[in-house]
Amino acid sequence: MHLTRQEEKMLDGEYGWANQVSMKILVRLGELFGATHLIPVQSAHLSGVSYKHMGDASIDFLTALAEGGGKAQTLSTLNPSSFDPTYLPKRYHRERLEKQSRIIDLYTRMGINSTLSCTPYYLRKPGHDQHLAWAESSAVIYANSILGAWTNREGSPSALAAALIGKTPNYGMHQAANRQPNVLVKVETSLQNEAEYGALGIHLGKILKDRVPVIKGLHSPSTDNLKQLGAGMASSGMTALFHHKTRSEKEKLETISIETKDIKEVAAGLCTTNEAPDLVFIGCPHCSLKEVKNVAGLLEGKKVRKDRELWVCTSRHVKERAKNYVDIIERAGGHLLCDTCALVTWIKDLGVQALMTNSAKTAFYAPTLNEVDVALTPLNKCIEAACR
Amino acid sequence: MKGRSIVPGKCTGPALVSTKPLSFLGGVDHNSGVIIEKGHDLKGESVKGKVLCFPYGHGSTVGSYVLYSLVKKGVGPIAIVNQVADLVVVVGAIIAEIPMIDQIDIRQIKTGDEVEVDGTRGTVKVGGQR
């Protein structure tokens, strides 16, 4: 890999330990994956925030980096944590909150914004063709496929290294040649709702491996539905980019056909229970303003049952713009939670055994990450179940 | 055996060999260095002071931080030998500053063998049982 003189000096430790170790990560990954040099990134988005997921071990490294002079060199944002500001702190042991605060403090000491959301693109939409270094697989696939930005699927440490250096090695999704579709997915069924879009994503993620699909047969899908599709693909597989706008292919691509029964099978396979839910969870990935509005519309004049909880998770940024809808949701007895979601907090410790969600990504992960049973069903049914 | 250099550095120690992929996050206790991954063939073994040989890593990228923490606490492996280097283990070995090589047929190494790892040249020398 070609390095500038300044990059060489960083690698040799002349700019402190944090820069040196970050540079070592970027250069080694670049060499292993065939990068020629480092390119500047417009933003970095970091996973590895929730204490539930990170545990104590990560605190050691973050402390060393912060003490070693680490400072973000590009706009940098954080994934959700294990707590919202007001509701969950009352429900767990204090030590967990302290550990979580420590992790966030270490990041903010390094100049990283505590946005605590998996949808940084609602806060600041990256431009077409901008290079990014994002972790959080659902945000990566959204940025590449829907916004036309360029980012690899970074892991927690490589996104952090890119934030501190402000650059990333130019391999993978940063090369135009690697972004060309090489498999055609023909959807020969009409997808009914966001849960079905997510289920299609889970199905495709499992069979696509590292290929880049062009998906045809989606009838003017909303960006919210595409968000569910992408989140599903990125959860069950390694997909970082899909194409969906109809375009003529020069070469004939291998074709995968998707029929109604495929979607039904996958959606059914993601459900592990028919039991009534203890928790109904909307907002994986974090809700857009439109999605919060939809929830409020369905909840108007209703009450969430006393023996069930409804969580609607979003970013602080969206919450501030959704004041009226938030009021409706909270008046109905639902919880509008910022900075967190059901996957990254200890819902089992809250007594949750059965979770209902409209997110295929949550349905895919919750049985293992949270050890709860799951039912996947569209938003209107979720709200019905919460209030019935 | 000649493989590929991933992280430079040299060391010698006893091998701990697995035929199964390993996840550091949730798979290794970060305080004791004992492998706790369910159904793993090394479950209950400690990685402390070992040349840890396994096919490849899997699981969350937060696993890199666990490897760092193990090594800094003195309960981590002294080197890593993989068949295929994956991102989580590569980054973990870089930040923990322990030698690592890949593209090695780890079936030729047995647990307990005295192994010399040269991460700079990408070689592994297997001595006898200690």
Residue at which a domain ends, from A176, A204, A221 = A176
pLDDT for res B25: 82
Of B6, B65, B91, the CB nearest to A57: B65
Helix or strand (DSSP H, E) at A228:
helix A223-236
Q: Return the domain boundaries, chain B.
A: 4-129
Give the per-residue pLDDT at B87: 85
- Check residue A246 and give its pLDDT: 63
Residue A167 carries which side chain, given as an amino acid letter? K
Strand ranges (DSSP E) for A247-290? 255-258, 279-282
**Is pLDDT of B130 > 60?**
no
Residues A222 and A262 in one domain: yes
Query: Residue B86: which residues within 8 A CB-CB, separation 6 or more?
Result: B56, B57, B58
Interchain CB contact of B69 with A (< 8 Å): yes
Question: Are A128 and A26 contained in the same domain?
Answer: yes
Higher pLDDT, A385 or B128: A385
Distance from CA of B25 to the nearest CA of A (A): 8
Which residues in chain A come in under a pLDDT of 50? none
pLDDT of residue B107: 94
Same domain? A186 vs A326: no
Sheet holding A354-357, edge to edge: A335-338, A309-314, A279-282, A354-357, A373-376
Query: Do A171 and A184 belong to one domain?
Result: no
Q: Do A382 and A280 share a domain, yes or no? A: yes
If asked whether residues A282 and A250 sit together in one domain, one would say no
Domain end residue (candidates: A176, A196, A211): A176
Residue A249 has what pLDDT?
Answer: 65
Cβ A364 vs Cβ A385: under 8 Å: no
CA atoms within 13 A on the CB side of B8: 4
For the domain B4-129, what is the CATH superfamily, name and number?
A: Phosphohistidine domain (3.50.30.10)
Residue-level pLDDT at A68: 96
pLDDT at A342: 97
- As a whole number of angstroms, the distance between CA A333 and CA A328 comes to 9
User: How far does A156 lie from chain B, in Å, by closest CA?
Assistant: 6
The residue in chain B having the minimum alpha-carbon distance to the alpha carbon of residue A48 is B62
b/e per residue A236-275 (b: at least 16 CB within 10 A): bbebbbbbbeeeeeeeebeebebeeebbeebbeebebeee
Q: Please compute the mean of the pLDDT values over residues B68-94 and round it to a whole number.
A: 93
Task: Name the residue in chain A with its Cα closest to that of B95.
Answer: A21
Backbone phi, psi, residue A163, to 5°: -65, -45
Total domains, chain A: 3
User: pLDDT at position B59, please?
Assistant: 77
Report, as residue numbers or ranges, the catalytic residues of B. Answer: 60
pLDDT of residue B129: 61
Same domain, A149 and A230: no
Render pLDDT for A274-310 as a digit per residue (tens, 0 to 9).
999 999 999 999 999 999 999 999 999 999 999 999 9
* Best CA proximity match to A246, nearest among A186, A179, A175, A173: A186
Kindly determine whether residue A28 and residue B66, on different chains, have CB atoms separated by under 8 Å: no
Return the pLDDT at A332. Answer: 97
Determine whether the interchain pair A21/B62 forms a contact, defined as Cβ–Cβ distance below 8 Å: no
Residue A326's domain is classified under what CATH number? 3.30.499.10
Cα separation, B8 vs A321, whole angstroms = 51
3-state secondary structure string, A68-132? CCCCCCCEEEECCCCCCCCCHHHCCCHHHHHHHHHHHHHHHHCCCECCCCCCHHHHCCCCCCCEC
Residues A11 and A119 in one domain: yes
Token reading at A223: 């960006």
Nearest C-alpha of chain A: how many angstroms from B130?
32
What is the rounded distance in angstroms from the CA atom of residue A172 to the CA atom of residue A194? 29
Residues A144 and A229 in one domain: no
Nearest to A150 by CA among A177, A125, A176, A131: A131
Q: Which domain holds residue A252?
A: 180-269
Q: What is the pLDDT of residues B34-60, one digit of tens each?
A: 998 888 899 999 999 999 999 998 877
Higher-pLDDT residue of B128, B90:
B90
